[in-house]
Structure 1
Amino acid sequence: MYEVRLDEFVLQCEVTYLEDVPPTPGIDTSDWDAYGYREMEFQVISGQICDEEGVAIDAGRNACAALAEKYAEFIEQELWRQIEKERQDVA
């Protein structure tokens, strides 16, 4: 489970599919094999909205779905950043 912050929203996200294939120079079967590729699917499980006083209120399913659709690229970038940090911490 990962936490992604968007302005006053805090989203709890789950990565449901992850593929990170590193480049393999010299392979000519496909560009994907030669250059590598990354794919990810995620779900926003829950979310909170923080008001001016810092009190968190449940965002609800509809708000979470709308935020996931509107900010999908940003959320995915942030999830990759967190996954890469985890990998570095393990290594």
Structure 2
Amino acid sequence: MNWKQLKDFCNSLPESELEKKVILWREDEAITDIDTEQLDEDQYIDERDSDNGCFPKSEAESQIKMDPEEFPRGLEQFLKVYDKGHPILREKF
């Protein structure tokens, strides 16, 4: 799903549904505490350890600075997966 599809879906809802809480339905839970935002930095993954999730560009640069021998290609050793400004839905914890 992209943001246009989400917008179209929301626009198709009856007005009475628009004040209801958003629910992200998962197999074993319903997430109801959701927030919206836009990423404030590009997000990267370490291609050698992609199971570790993504992290902001500043964190990648910090890792490079702390251990330049581990990252001889610098930022090129990381894969950018999301651009700064990308809209996201985030679960509030």
Q: Give me the TM-score of the superposition, normalised by structure 2.
A: 0.24
Q: Give me the TM-score of the superposition, normalised by structure 1.
A: 0.25
Highest CA radius of gyration, 1 or 2?
2
Choose between structure 1 and 2: higher strand proportion: 1
